[in-house]
Amino acid sequence: MHRPTVLDKQNWPDKKPRRKSRMGMGLFLLLMTFNAAFIAFSVSSSRTEANSSLNSSEPGEGLTFAPFQSARKVKGARAVVAASRVSFQSFGDKFQLSGGYLEGKEVRTLRLTVQSSLSFSVCRIVSEDQCRALAARIARKLAWFLDVNKDIRKGDKVVLIYENLPAEPGLKILKMDYFSGYLNKKLEMNFFKTPEMNYGSYFDRRGKEMISRLDSRTTPIRNYSEITALPGEMRHGHLSGHAGTDFKAEVGTPVFSSFPGRVTRTNWNTGKNGYCIEVDHPDKDVKTLYLHLDKVLVRPGQWVGQGIKIGHSGNTGRSYAPHLHYEIKSRDRKKTVYNPFIFKYHKKYSRTISNKFRKNFEKTIRLYDSLLQAG
């Protein structure tokens, strides 16, 4: 009998991605996010109020499932023996989770109704040192589905479960529901991780991954935790804002040439770019750039094939956290930049939770639902 052991990667999009210019506009949001100059949210229901009705030592609904084998690898996780149940306990305004990769996680819930200023409103209930980061994370996720500059409207609702982490990155969203009145759409993202994934991802209720990935044959990096920036907009024909796609990854992660081509230069403008590589692809009329590397494994003039390891990602130059900055730009003077998730030579896919992990996934979804009911 065929037992799937890896996530289904057959989920290819039916059509080639389109809408270059429109996506470019929508993605400008990311820059806005980091400038903290965007739409505001305000709180419609107070966390403290919601939790005051709970007995602080009362356990939540216990959900039983087989332990994740990788639970012991999770930093700060408790013993694996405790992982046969997924459950939570509330302590004041926090919840403590048990089971699988959720073991030992301390989470909070949050409900917001969009009124006028996001960071301001998030900051009304989340501590000042965290609220801007949380607002940025909300916007970063929404950017994949809507134009944050135009589509977020007063009355939209956000429901969150997020984790407090002792160290950087400090916060992690485990579940986000977003209700857009203007688009008349409901978005639901659930974080889930199987032992076969290096990092978890966000899935809809049916188990389909919501943020796509670049096909392993053309991706510049395979092992990354998330995408933290996408290319900014083109303004009056000039490039403004962020030109690349940032893949958050540990220093030393292999970086590959996305397409066959010739290395045109390495390590230029290192104060800004850090160690870096540029590869020319005349047949596709673009150059690809790989910045902030820890190690460069190629020399100018060298021919590289597709998927050939050309370096290691790092944190060099003007970079504030380990990541790969990947950029696709046209060879002409206009230097048009392309979003890799729209660029026609990059194939994309989304993973689907395989049957093997389906039960665990569904139980995690139910846990999230119970948390939101309780908080």
With CB under 5 A as the contact rule, which of the stretches 45-53, 162-170, 201-209, 242-250 interacts with Zn ion? 242-250
DSSP 291-313: EEEEEE---TT-EE-TT-EEEEE
The one among 24, 207, 244, 375 contacting Zn ion by CB under 5 A: 244
Q: Which CB atom, from 95 or from 247, has the smaller least distance to Zn ion? A: 247
Least distance in Å: CB of 325 to Zn ion?
A: 3
Residue 262 belongs to what H/E stretch?
A: strand 261-266
**Residue whose pair of structure tokens reads 């609702």 in the numeric block:** 157
Q: Which CB atom, from 83 or from 230, has the smaller least distance to Zn ion? A: 230
Q: Which amino acid is at 348?
A: K
Q: Which CB atom, from 192 or from 290, has the smaller least distance to Zn ion? A: 290
Q: How far is CA 94 from the centre of its chain?
A: 24
Q: Report the SS3 class of residue 208.
A: strand
CA separation for the pair 210, 219 (Å, rounded)? 18
With CB under 5 A as the contact rule, which of the stretches 4-12, 57-65, 187-195, 236-244 interacts with Zn ion? 236-244
Site for Zn ion in 259-288 (CB under 5 A): none
The one among 93, 151, 246, 294 contacting Zn ion by CB under 5 A: 246
Q: Are strands 213-214 and 348-349 parallel, antiparallel or unpaired?
A: antiparallel
**What b-and-e string marks burial along 337-356, b requiring 16 or more CB atoms within 10 Å of the CB?**
bbbbbbbebbbbbbbbbbeb
- CB neighbours of 194 closer than 8 A, spacing ≥ 6? 7, 68, 353, 354, 356, 357, 360
Least distance in Å: CB of 110 to Zn ion?
A: 29
Size of the site for Zn ion (CB under 5 A): 3
Site for Zn ion in 191-230 (CB under 5 A): none
Q: Which CB atom, from 156 or from 246, has the smaller least distance to Zn ion? A: 246
Site for Zn ion in 94-133 (CB under 5 A): none
Site string for Zn ion, 303-342 (x = CB under 5 A): ----------------------x-----------------
Report which residue's Cβ sits closest to Zn ion. 325
Q: Which CB atom, from 100 or from 244, has the smaller least distance to Zn ion? A: 244
Closest CA relative to residue 311, chosen from 294, 327, 329: 294
Least distance in Å: CB of 338 to Zn ion?
A: 14
- Residue numbers of the site for Zn ion (CB under 5 A)? 244, 246, 325
